[in-house]
């Protein structure tokens, strides 16, 4: 049995058979001053990369391993799939003398000076001088980085590489708080680290105490010694059809590309693999749903006619189209799995009520689960107003209702007396049983985990209930394909007639007095106003305190002539009910609130939404908050008060003032924040994509989707030999999704 020893690793030996099958024709070479693993790897055994700790590398002791763990790097597998966040072309460096203002550049030079300057109390400037021999000296500056001086004192006369944005005024050249690293490797007798210069250099996501040099060394060592143990996930025919590189070549190409062409080929293959695994999961879900026993509602036409007759308004064309799509699903024997997207105020609840009427009139029960009690109570009012006129009993079940009331509701639901039950997470408790559940409606569904949704639909007993999920957060098509590929999608792309457009204005904090003077005039005309307090991240208690303080300030110092209400998540259920009731009946003219009003609050007379420190909120939240006004016959306004300090903050304010189109806002939100933050990875089950970018990789996503559904059609359980590693990857992703959504 041949062993790959440390010496062989130095020569860049990769197991020939593994190299061949993964498309790597020329083994990569190692440089002698790099860390070498302290263990050998056998040629005939694929070691468990997911269990081998990083302490196998010389130089990675317990303390360093703890630091690496902060990055999620525990094993060799973690390291191999810890991809660089960007790259620097250090084959050619910029000259300091030629740098232009605003340019982003990489320079290399010698440290010639370092000093700390106390500018004022609690503000210290560290200034480092860098000379590259081009007749200009660059200044590197940091604020309140007190240890920086000692660090650069030790580097006097040594070379460093610097990357950042250039500020140039006449002869002065400055890099403010740039990224940097030393070039001369003291551990190798002052020689140049060959992974940090003269090539395309990877820059990894890192943390304090973990240098780029260390990450490059151990990544290179891991590839040199262990890459041959990485299984090829993609079947050969798939790689050939899509012209994809093998896994070993791709891992080398993503970490240490020799050309940008090689880098893009590697990234494309790894992005395809990520998206394929995700699409296989969705294809499996769709196939499982197709094989489940569902409810075939025998009469959908009569309940719909009855429902339309009792409505005090006519459904829009868009609502009628979506209702028809839902009715067709409900008439079919397979379980419905449909996502309804509709912008704020488009009338999704009316569509859901039409589906509920079908279910109950066919002898089944329906339930509607909302993420917050305020939203559940808002839905209850609307559903009761409509369906109780049809003789359908509608109940509410939330966690904070009195125990006696909850017990009575559970009893009516179990007996079938309740036709429709509206509630929150309380609906998925074991104590809740349905006599005959036929329809589950889940609102603002991205706030629920996959397992929570499954717990609700599992209450249908032997028969899977139809599932209708709704969201007022418009979802870009790329994310719809990525996250909801197992669902049929309906879009309500039309607002009810008579809705007046909401005028949005961005005002600076210095203009707050004039904003509130304008608010005063509108209140005097009979309108009401929401004021959303600044977002406080620390805790709900801190957020509640901020709202309380703002309400007190407005009541005492700004609007003493008006009644000011307060609504936040720390209030009891009765307290929230009282605050909303007072505002709804105009006993209070101003309601100071946290983001608990983001969804579900409907007060037609509220015509102004003022959002303090609006740049602290994401675009989706701002759009949802704006949607709380503009629901009546009066002209409505959204005032964003903010002094954003970042380019993203400025961009969000501009987008909000330029458009009320929820889909455009969603695309911008996705572009600015990325898919993980768009939904919140924990809530949605969306995996953290390491190589793929759902905005840039739309074509790759489509290819992966087509291939995934074809693979599942031909090999439903991924049981064939060529799909065995693909099956392992899918199972790993499924476990990760279950863990991320378990809360």
Which residues 6+ apart lie within 8 Å of 713 measured at CB? none
Helix then strand then coil, in percent of the chain rounded to 5, is 45, 20, 35
Q: What is the pLDDT of residue 673?
A: 65
Provide the 3-class DSSP secondary structure of residue 671. helix
Q: Which residue has the tokens 């790759």?
A: 700
Which pLDDT value is given to residue 433?
Answer: 93
Residues 342 and 618: their CA atoms lie apart, in Å, by 19
pLDDT at 436: 93
Nearest to 420 by CA among 390, 401, 394, 439: 394
What is the predicted pLDDT for the residue at 448? 63
Two tokens at 671? 């572009």
Q: Cα–Cα–Cα angle for 585, 623, 512, nearest 5°?
A: 75
> What is the number of residues in the chain?
743
- C-alpha distance from residue 236 to each of 22, 245, 538 (Å): 9, 10, 50
pTM: 0.62
What's the rounded Cα separation, in Å, for the pair 154 and 224?
A: 33
- For the chain, 743 residues long, the average pLDDT of each consecutive 10-residue run is 29 30 40 38 53 88 92 93 89 88 89 90 89 90 87 92 88 88 65 74 88 90 90 92 95 95 96 92 78 85 94 91 96 90 83 96 95 84 91 93 92 96 91 93 70 76 86 70 74 78 92 94 94 76 85 94 90 84 92 78 87 88 86 87 88 91 79 56 55 80 90 90 88 68 40
pLDDT for 695 equals 67
Q: How is residue 195 written in tokens?
A: 């992974």
The predicted pLDDT at position 249 comes to 94
Q: How many helices, marked H, and strands, marked E, lie in the chain? A: 26, 25
100-to-110, 165, 177 alpha-carbon distances in Å: 20, 10, 17
Q: Looking at residue 683, what is its pLDDT?
A: 39
Q: Token pair for residue 366?
A: 């329906």
- What is residue 451's predicted lDDT score, i.e. its pLDDT? 61
Chain centroid to CA 322: how far? 27
């Amino acid at each position: 049995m041949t062993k790959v020893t440390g010496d062989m690793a130095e020569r860049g030996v990769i197991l020939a058979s593994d190299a061949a099958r993964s498309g790597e024709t020329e083994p990569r070479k190692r440089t002698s001053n790099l860390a070498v693993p302290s263990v050998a790897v056998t040629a005939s055994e694929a070691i468990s990369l997911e269990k081998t700790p990083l302490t196998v590398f010389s130089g990675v002791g317990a303390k360093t391993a703890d630091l690496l763990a902060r990055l999620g790097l525990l094993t060799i597998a973690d390291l191999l799939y810890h991809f660089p966040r960007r790259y620097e072309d250090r084959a050619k460096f910029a000259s300091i003398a030629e740098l232009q203002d605003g340019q982003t550049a990489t320079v290399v030079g010698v440290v010639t000076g370092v000093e700390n300057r106390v500018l004022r109390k609690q503000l210290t400037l560290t200034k480092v001088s860098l000379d590259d021999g081009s007749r200009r000296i660059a200044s590197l500056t940091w604020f309140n980085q007190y240890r920086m001086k000692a660090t650069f004192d030790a580097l006097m006369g040594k070379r460093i590489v610097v990357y950042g944005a250039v500020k140039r005024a006449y002869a002065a050249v400055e890099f403010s708080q740039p990224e940097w690293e030393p070039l001369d490797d003291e551990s190798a007798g002052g020689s140049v680290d060959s992974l940090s210069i003269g090539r395309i250099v990877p820059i990894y996501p890192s943390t304090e105490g973990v240098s780029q040099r260390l990450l490059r060394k151990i990544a290179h060592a891991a590839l040199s010694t262990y890459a041959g143990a990485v299984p090829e996930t993609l079947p050969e025919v798939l790689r050939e059809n899509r012209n994809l590189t093998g896994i070993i070549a791709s891992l080398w190409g993503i970490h240490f590309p020799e050309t940008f062409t090689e880098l893009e080929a590697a990234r494309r293959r790894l992005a395809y693999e990520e998206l394929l695994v995700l699409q296989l999961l969705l294809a499996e879900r769709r196939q499982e749903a197709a094989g489940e026993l569902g409810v075939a509602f025998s009469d959908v036409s009569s309940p719909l006619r009855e429902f339309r007759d009792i409505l005090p308004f006519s459904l829009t064309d868009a609502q009628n189209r979506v209702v028809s799509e839902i009715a067709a699903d409900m008439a079919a024997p397979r379980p419905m799995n449909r996502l309804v997207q509709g912008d704020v105020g488009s009338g999704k609840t009316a569509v859901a009520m039409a589906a509920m009427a079908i279910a109950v009139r066919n002898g089944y029960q329906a339930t509607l689960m909302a993420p917050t009690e305020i939203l559940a109570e808002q839905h209850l009012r609307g559903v009761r107003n409509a369906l109780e006129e049809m003789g359908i009993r509608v109940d509410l079940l939330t966690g904070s209702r009195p125990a006696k009331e909850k017990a009575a509701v559970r009893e009516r639901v179990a007996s079938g007396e309740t036709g429709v039950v509206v509630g929150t997470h309380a609906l998925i408790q074991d104590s809740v049983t349905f006599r005959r559940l036929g329809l589950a409606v889940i609102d603002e569904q991205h706030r629920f985990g996959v397992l929570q949704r499954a717990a609700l639909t599992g209450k249908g007993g032997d028969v899977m209930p139809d599932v209708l999920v709704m969201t007022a957060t418009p979802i870009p098509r790329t994310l719809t394909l990525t996250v909801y590929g197992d669902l049929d999608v309906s879009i309500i792309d039309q607002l009810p007639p008579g809705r007046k457009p909401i005028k949005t204005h961005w005002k600076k904090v210095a203009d707050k007095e004039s904003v509130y003077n304008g608010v005063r005039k509108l209140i005097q005309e009979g309108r009401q106003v929401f004021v959303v307090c600044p977002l406080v991240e620390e805790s709900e208690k801190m957020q509640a305190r901020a709202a309380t303080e703002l309400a007190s300030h407005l009541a005492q110092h700004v609007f003493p002539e008006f009644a000011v209400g307060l609504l936040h998540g720390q209030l009891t259920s009765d307290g929230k009910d009282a605050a909303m009731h007072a505002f709804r009946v105009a006993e209070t003219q101003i309601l100071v609130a946290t983001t608990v009003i983001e969804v579900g609050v409907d007060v037609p007379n509220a015509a102004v939404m003022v959002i303090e420190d609006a740049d602290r909120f994401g675009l989706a939240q701002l759009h949802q908050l704006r949607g709380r006004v503009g629901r009546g016959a009066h002209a409505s306004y959204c005032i964003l008060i903010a002094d954003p300090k970042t380019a993203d903050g400025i961009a969000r304010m501009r987008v909000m003032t330029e458009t009320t189109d929820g889909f455009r806002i969603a695309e911008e939100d996705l572009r600015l924040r990325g898919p993980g933050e768009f939904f919140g990875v924990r809530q949605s089950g969306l995996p953290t994509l390491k190589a793929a970018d759902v905005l840039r990789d739309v074509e790759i996503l489509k290819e992966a989707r087509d291939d995934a559904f074809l693979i599942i059609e031909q090999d439903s359980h991924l049981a064939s030999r060529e799909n065995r590693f693909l099956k392992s990857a899918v199972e790993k992703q499924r476990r990760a999704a279950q863990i991320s959504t378990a809360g």
